[in-house]
Structure 1
Amino acid sequence: MGELTARTPMDRMLPKKIGGVALREVDLGAMTLVMPYRGAVDTLSGALEAAHGLSWPETGQMTGTTGRGVLWFGRAQALLIGVVPDEGLSAKAALVDQSDAWAAVEIEGDRAAEALARLTPVDLRPGVFRVGHTARTEVAHMAASLTRTGQATYMMMVFRAFARTLVHELGSALEGVAARGGR
């Protein structure tokens, strides 16, 4: 009988560096979609704080970090990342394990925003899309989540089935930016 080996979504595709911009896979650990029951956002936020030291995010925001945080994920939805949810949260929200559903990439470098601007309609200017801001958007016609995690660092998530396409599209955009040379 053959032996099965677990692989990450970006297995053997990353890391890579193109034109001074680094692409690397991010292991977010446990990922749970959290959808509060009607009228329970405040009590859910309190329960998240008590159980995990994290609060419910404002629209378009992230609380905590990519290692352990809560990412706004749409209207009345957030993604709890890096931590298995406390069982008590299920009294205040529907919880759905998403750990194997998403592929995450970190894009870091001075020209990262320039390359991403070729793939997404999000206004990535620093005064508009600040560190800690997140958006559900499209990236090269794929449903995605885009989060600014540093001055020149972004985290992008797509459905796991699109991991290869994401790496290809990011690579093409970065090669195009690199071919233009200096600013």
Structure 2
Amino acid sequence: MGSISLIKAPALEQAPFEAAGLRLEAVEPGPVTALMPYRGRHAAVATALEKSHGLGWPEPGQVIASGGQRIAWSAYNTALVIGAELPPRLANHTAMTPQGDGMACLRLSGAAWRDALARLTPLTFEQDAERGMLMHVPALFLRGDDAVEVFVMRSMARTAWHELQSAMERLAGRAAIS
């Protein structure tokens, strides 16, 4: 039997799409690791992340950033570390599972990004990190000032792209007839 060779490929190989003053692009966020602290170990995890990366532990809906690295609340007792390699010793305090190969990140930027997403999700984006549905696709939304990053399962990346692109096209069509 021959050996198997795996080739890392992006979840989406789409050219950026622009419409209605918005830009949609697939982005590579770097390493993504889910952390789920063991019972009674949140403080130890927060201290270790603060010392090693300047991050700490996020409250629900919060994203903490430091030097291009982020930690984002993801769910109860779970946070995603984005753009940082974590020290193996952290596993003494938390379950650590790499997520990067199973996730895709889409970035929607422009002044009207909320208008486009209003057609696809009931979320109001009052917090920096929110989990919800993008139509029928489970997603984690990380809000910025003029953009939102949408993290979805890799297998749903094309569907999420299609939904976002369609919402942008509808906004552009509506503006054209106004």
TM over 0.5: yes
Query: Relative to structure 2, which stretch is displaced further, 81-90 or 59-68?
Result: 59-68
Q: Counterparts of 1:5 and 1:102 in 2: how far apart (Å)?
A: 16
Q: Counterparts of 1:69 and 1:161 in 2: how far apart (Å)?
A: 24
1:110: Cα distance to partner?
1.5
Q: Counterparts of 1:23 and 1:112 in 2: how far apart (Å)?
A: 10
Mapped contact 1:28–1:67 kept (Cα < 8 A): no
Question: 1:80-105: per-residue Cα shift (whole Å, max 9, x none)?
Answer: 11111111211110001111011001
Q: Give the paired residue count.
A: 174
Unaligned runs of 5+ in 2: none
Letter in 2 for 1:104: C
- Aligned partner of 2:115 in structure 1 is 114
Letter in 2 for 1:68: Q
Tell me the percent identity.
Answer: 34
Q: Cα–Cα, structure 1 residues 66 and 6, in superposed 2: closer, same or farther, change >3 Å?
A: farther
Unaligned runs of 5+ in 1: none
Letter in 1 for 2:41: A
Mapped contact 1:28–1:66 kept (Cα < 8 A): no
Q: Counterparts of 1:66 and 1:181 in 2: how far apart (Å)?
A: 38
- Higher share of residues assigned helix: 2
- Taking structure 1 as the reference length, the TM-score comes to 0.89
Ranges of 4+ aligned residues in structure 1 off by more than 6 Å: none
- Aligned partner of 2:154 in structure 1 is 160
- Aligned partner of 2:75 in structure 1 is 74
- Aligned partner of 2:137 in structure 1 is 142
- Aligned partner of 2:171 in structure 1 is 177
